[in-house]
């Protein structure tokens, strides 16, 4: 294209030069001349009387009229301008759109310029573009989520009436709902109330309770009671539906103990590994000889020596009373014994809902479910 304009400039200079060059032929005026594009190396000027070729690669049968710099020549066209040449009808503005519609599909192709409209390349491009997706405009060609655009990088946090729907919340909700279903099924299988378990904990919390976990049987089942046995550790299984910080254990003192304490008196929390049926002490209270002497018919509690950050799962609450002399054994509220047949159920590794371990002077640091024996009394101990 640069070459074309250089040649065009040469024509204008020759046509309007105040000193007419000494030429054997007539030089066309600007008003009378017409320009034609031949190829990358040649263009034509059609005058009133003569036709000329301006070329850098010329043919031998044309007569040189003027030789310019860089090998460019002005030659007399002995015959007519070729029909393939393209008329440049506007000498002041080179509007490419005019020439892109010409019949010659090779226009500018040697220089890599766009080809004419209707040519196969242009036609294929037009067809291809028509199948492309419309430019994405948030809220116009692509929807938003709760007013938040989907365009750009990063995550979109989806929120609703119940709060943020992130994966942690979903996982917690799923565990809670699953635990509720499992507990209701288990209670129903044992003849108990289908409103027990997690539903009870939700009710307790709604009423201001700090209880985090309780046995399979809830407060509605506490229609019995049972005395502790000195030197025998009691173990009650509980399920913690979500991760919680546990402070201690709560129970109902049905009758205060009158005794002389010895060895260890206190409560503990055991984690449980169901794969091998192992109980491991993870928290416990300091020795307290008066722990089982709480006022009769009141709720009593004992804190661990330090709080415990518990993951969701199955735990065992351990309780031990030790006395060298006894007037009245401490009595703890319990559930009715009608669920005795479910104590061993189809649990693995000898696990039980309620169990005991005799001849203990302190709570064992660890034990196994198979080492424990069945305990018919379903004492009620809860975690807070």
Q: What is the average pLDDT across 58-69? A: 66
Confidence band for 300, pLDDT divided at 50, 70 and 90: very high
Q: How far is it, in rounded angstroms, from Cα 182 to Cα 189?
A: 11
- Give the pLDDT score at 160: 54
Q: Is 333 left (phi over 0), alpha (psi -120 to 50) or beta?
A: beta
Q: How far is it, in rounded angstroms, from Cα 316 to Cα 363?
A: 12
pLDDT tens per residue across span 195-242: 344 578 888 999 999 999 999 888 988 999 999 999 999 999 999 999
Contact between 295 and 361 under an 8 Å Cβ cutoff? The reply is: no
Name the pairing type of β-strands 34-39 and 86-88: antiparallel
pLDDT tens per residue across span 72-122: 666 777 677 777 777 775 444 444 444 444 434 344 444 343 444 444 445
Confidence band for 154, pLDDT divided at 50, 70 and 90: confident
Q: What is the CATH number of domain 211-383?
A: 2.60.120
Q: How far is it, in rounded angstroms, from Cα 370 to Cα 349?
A: 6
Residue 300: how many other CB atoms lie within 10 Å:
17
Three-state secondary-structure class, residue 117:
coil
| CA of residue 104 relative to chain centroid, distance | 57
Confidence band for 155, pLDDT divided at 50, 70 and 90: confident
Contact between 256 and 328 under an 8 Å Cβ cutoff? The reply is: yes
Query: Residues of 220-259 as b/e, b for ≥16 C-beta within 10 angstroms?
Result: ebbebbbbbbbbbbbbbbbbbbbebebbbbbbbbbbbbeb
The two structure tokens encoding residue 278: 């192992």
pLDDT tens per residue across span 263-281: 999 999 999 999 999 999 9
Q: What residues contact residue 247 under an 8 Å CB cut-off, 6+ apart?
A: 210, 303, 304, 307, 384
- Give the pLDDT score at 196: 40
pLDDT tens per residue across span 253-266: 999 999 999 999 99
| CA of residue 355 relative to chain centroid, distance | 45
The two structure tokens encoding residue 19: 């000193």
Confidence band for 3, pLDDT divided at 50, 70 and 90: very low
Q: How far is it, in rounded angstroms, from Cα 167 to Cα 163?
A: 12
Contact between 381 and 334 under an 8 Å Cβ cutoff? The reply is: no
Q: pLDDT above 90 covers what percent of the chain?
A: 40
> Among the ranges 53-67, 136-150, 167-181, 280-294, which has the highest mean pLDDT value?
280-294
No. of helices (H) and no. of strands (E), the chain = 5, 23
Three-state secondary-structure class, residue 16:
helix
Could you tell me the end-to-end alpha-carbon distance of the chain, in angstroms, rounded to an integer?
A: 88
Residue in this structure with the two tokens 């010409």, named with its chain if needed? 102
Q: Which of 314, 183, 190 is nearest to 240 (CA)?
A: 314
Residue in this structure with the two tokens 């049926």, named with its chain if needed? 277
pLDDT tens per residue across span 24-42: 444 444 455 677 777 767 7
Backbone torsions φ then ψ of 233, nearest 5 degrees: -80, 135
Domain residue ranges of the chain, discontinuous segments joined by +: 2-121, 211-383
Q: How far is it, in rounded angstroms, from Cα 304 to Cα 266?
A: 9
Element (DSSP H or E) covering residue 171: helix 167-189
- Give the pLDDT score at 163: 47
Confidence band for 343, pLDDT divided at 50, 70 and 90: low
**At residue 140, does pLDDT exceed 50?**
yes
């Amino acid at each position: 294209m640069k070459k074309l304009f250089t040649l065009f400039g040469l024509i204008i200079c020759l046509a309007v030069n105040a000193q007419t060059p000494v030429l054997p032929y007539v030089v066309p005026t600007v008003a009378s001349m017409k320009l034609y594009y031949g190829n990358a190396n040649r263009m034509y000027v059609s005058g009133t009387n003569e036709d000329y070729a301006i070329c850098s690669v010329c043919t031998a049968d044309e007569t040189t009229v003027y030789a310019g710099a860089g090998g460019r020549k002005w030659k007399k066209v002995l015959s007519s301008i070729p029909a393939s040449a393209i008329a440049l009808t506007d000498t002041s503005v080179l509007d490419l759109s005019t020439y892109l519609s010409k019949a010659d599909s090779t226009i500018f192709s040697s220089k890599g310029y766009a080809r004419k409209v209707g040519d196969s390349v242009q036609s294929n491009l037009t067809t291809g573009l028509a199948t492309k997706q419309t430019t994405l405009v948030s809220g116009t060609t692509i929807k938003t989520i709760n007013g938040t655009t989907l365009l750009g990088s990063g995550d979109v946090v989806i929120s609703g009436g119940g709060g943020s729907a992130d994966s942690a919340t979903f996982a917690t909700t799923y565990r809670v709902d699953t635990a509720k279903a499992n507990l209701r099924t288990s209670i129903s299988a044992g003849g108990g109330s289908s409103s027990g378990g997690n539903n009870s904990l939700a009710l307790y919390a709604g009423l201001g309770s700090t209880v985090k976990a309780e046995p399979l049987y809830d407060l509605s089942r506490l229609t019995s009671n049972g005395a502790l046995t000195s030197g025998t550790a009691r173990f009650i299984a509980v399920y913690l539906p979500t991760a919680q910080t546990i402070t201690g254990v709560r129970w109902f003192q049905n009758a205060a103990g009158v005794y002389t304490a010895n060895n260890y008196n206190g409560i503990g929390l055991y984690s449980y590994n169901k794969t091998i049926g192992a109980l491991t002490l993870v928290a416990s209270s300091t020795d307290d000889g008066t722990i089982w002497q709480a006022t009769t018919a009141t709720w009593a509690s004992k804190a661990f020596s330090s709080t415990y950050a518990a993951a969701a799962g199955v735990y065992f609450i351990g309780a031990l009373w030790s006395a060298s002399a006894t007037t009245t054994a401490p009595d703890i509220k319990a559930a009715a014994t009608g669920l005795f047949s479910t104590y061993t159920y189809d649990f693995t590794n000898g696990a039980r809902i309620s169990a005991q371990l005799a001849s203990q002077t302190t709570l064992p640091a660890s034990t196994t479910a198979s080492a424990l024996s069945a305990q018919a009394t379903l004492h009620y101990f809860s975690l807070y």
